[in-house]
């Protein structure tokens, strides 16, 4: 039977200094919404929620009425084409979620057990797991401290004769510095698979994330900038990667005859119902990105002068889409730590989420990365959390959240 990976008290001791406390319970807190905004009362401001204000229902109804609800149907092709186009990519391969999008993309390489794939330690577990599903070994690097993205100089140092691919993750919707990374990959003959799960519509030097490496994986989970409930997509310009990904997604059925298989494929298909929602969402992508960028500037304006609060920076070459608006809390300067501030917000009905716990701290990867330390990722893990970030967030909610953070600041008392 499967047994969970557990850390001993000694091992936990090393981590206790920076891994987050359990989530505080968010208290119900009814608030009046100003008359000029949608007249509802909200009990909790969620950290994120979908915005389903376009053609979602109309397209789902069409799928139902035409009887195409499974994994064939025109919405799948339309969504693949429209989303790929929105990313500046030639091909889009829709699939069941963002984790399997990364797995599908990497599975096209045919990785072997000793092969290594370099990933940032500060990411969501799916990035590392997708490498593990391929039977390869994830190799970690730390983040650069300015924009919280993969440190490219460290990537250069971690390349070995067994390295096959690099996976930059555009954390929280801010692109990784891709030019030096692609240069490095080219020099060593490596593939680059962007984990763009959080970066719909984000741009690097005017080019969209998802079109910057050899292939990319997106997530359409309910908290993503565009959603299909659950869902994912591989984007690529590479015909061979696209062909293999389409084939592997669907059990690797052979074109020679039915029930004839030359690869171990997967059932990673998306349904036409999900794609119907996705098509309606992609029609609104630019609008959602504008809303998030606007929300981020409203947050920035109100938080930038609070001692000990570090707001997110945007690189000159980046168009950050702020999938999540994250901040760091310096305990000494602010006067309380991140977890204490989260409790204050939760008591006021405001949901927040801590930053990722790095891969080298995960019980399941503890032995793989034993003794490795990554100080930037550890600091992000200790001090970082994100505030409500939905595209539909109201200005009055941003005002309320930022006022609470200001009023709670002991250093200002």
Q: Which residues bind ligand PLP (CB under 6 A)?
A: 97-99, 123-124, 126-127, 169, 195, 197-198, 219, 221, 232
Report the nearest approach of ligand PLP to the CB of residue 323 (Å): 8
Cα–Cα distance for residue pair 115/265, rounded to 1 Å: 20
Contact 308, 409 (CB under 8 A): yes
Residue nearest to ligand PLP (CB): 98
Asked if 198 and 173 count as a contact pair (C-beta separation under 8 A), the reply is yes
Is the CB of 171 or the CB of 296 nearer to ligand PLP?
171
Please report how close the Cβ of residue 123 comes to ligand PLP at its closest, in angstroms: 5
DSSP single-letter state for residue 173: G
Q: How far is the CB of 256 from ligand PLP (least distance, A)?
A: 32
Q: How far is the CB of 353 from ligand PLP (least distance, A)?
A: 11
Return the number of the residue (98 or 384) whose C-beta is nearest ligand PLP.
Answer: 98
At residue 32, φ and ψ (nearest 5 deg) are: -80, 140
Coil vs helix vs strand at 44:
coil
Nearer to ligand PLP, 97 or 284 (CB): 97
How far, CA to CA in Å, does 115 sit from each of 112, 138, 159, 182, 344?
5, 9, 11, 19, 46
**Quick one: 95 or 408, whose CB is closer to ligand PLP?**
95
CB of 223 to ligand PLP, least distance (A): 7
- 303-306's contacts with Cβ under 8 Å and 24+ in sequence apart are 303/327, 303/402, 303/405, 306/334, 306/405, 306/406, 306/409, 306/412
φ, ψ for residue 118, nearest 5 deg: -90, 125
| Closer residue to ligand PLP in complex, CB, 318/398 | 318
Q: How far is the CB of 172 from ligand PLP (least distance, A)?
A: 9
Helix H or strand E segment including 45? none
Closer to ligand PLP by Cβ: residue 105 or 405: 105
CB-hemisphere CA count at 13 Å for 249?
A: 27
Q: At what angle do helices 285-303 and 395-407 cross, to 10 degrees?
A: 30
Nearer to ligand PLP, 71 or 402 (CB): 71
Q: C-beta of 8: minimal distance to ligand PLP in Å?
A: 29
């Amino acid at each position: 039977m499967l047994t969970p990976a557990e850390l001993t008290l000694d091992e936990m001791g090393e981590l206790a200094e920076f891994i987050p406390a359990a989530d505080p319970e968010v208290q119900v807190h009814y608030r009046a919404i100003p008359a000029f905004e949608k007249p509802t009362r909200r009990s909790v401001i969620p950290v994120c929620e979908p915005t389903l204000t376009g053609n979602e229902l109309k397209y789902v109804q069409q799928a139902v009425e035409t009887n195409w609800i499974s994994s064939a149907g025109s919405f799948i092709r339309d969504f693949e084409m429209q989303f790929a186009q929105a990313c500046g990519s030639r091909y889009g391969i829709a699939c069941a979620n963002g984790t399997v999008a990364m797995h599908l993309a990497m599975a096209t390489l045919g990785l072997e057990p000793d092969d290594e794939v370099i990933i940032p330690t500060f990411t969501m577990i799916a990035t590392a797991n997708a490498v593990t599903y391929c039977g390869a070994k994830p190799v970690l690097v730390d983040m650069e401290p300015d924009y919280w993205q993969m440190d490219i100089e460290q990537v250069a140092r971690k390349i070995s004769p067994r390295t096959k691919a690099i996976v930059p993750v555009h954390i929280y919707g801010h692109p990784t510095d891709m030019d030096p990374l692609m240069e490095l990959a080219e020099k060593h003959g490596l593939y680059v698979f962007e984990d763009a799960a959080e970066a719909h519509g984000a741009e690097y030097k005017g080019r969209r994330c998802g079109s910057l490496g050899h292939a990319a994986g997106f997530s359409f989970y309910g908290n993503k900038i565009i959603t299909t409930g659950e869902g994912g997509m591989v984007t690529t310009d590479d015909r061979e990667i696209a062909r293999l990904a389409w084939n592997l997604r669907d059990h690797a059925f052979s074109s020679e005859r039915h029930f004839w298989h030359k690869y171990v494929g997967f059932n990673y298909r998306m349904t036409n119902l999900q794609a119907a929602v996705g098509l309606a969402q992609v029609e609104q992508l630019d609008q959602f990105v504008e809303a998030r960028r606007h929300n981020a500037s409203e947050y920035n304006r109100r938080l930038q002068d609070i001692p000990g609060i570090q707001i997110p920076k945007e690189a000159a070459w980046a168009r950050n889409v702020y999938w999540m608006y994250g901040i760091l809390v310096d305990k000494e300067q602010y006067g309380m730590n991140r977890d204490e501030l989260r409790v204050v917000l939760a008591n006021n009905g405001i949901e927040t989420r801590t930053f990722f716990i790095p891969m080298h701290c995960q019980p399941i990867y503890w032995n793989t990365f034993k003794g490795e330390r990554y100080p930037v990722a550890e600091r992000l893990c200790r001090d970082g959390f994100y505030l409500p970030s939905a595209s539909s967030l109201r200005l009055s909610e941003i005002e309320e959240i930022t006022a609470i953070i200001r009023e709670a600041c002991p250093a200002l008392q």
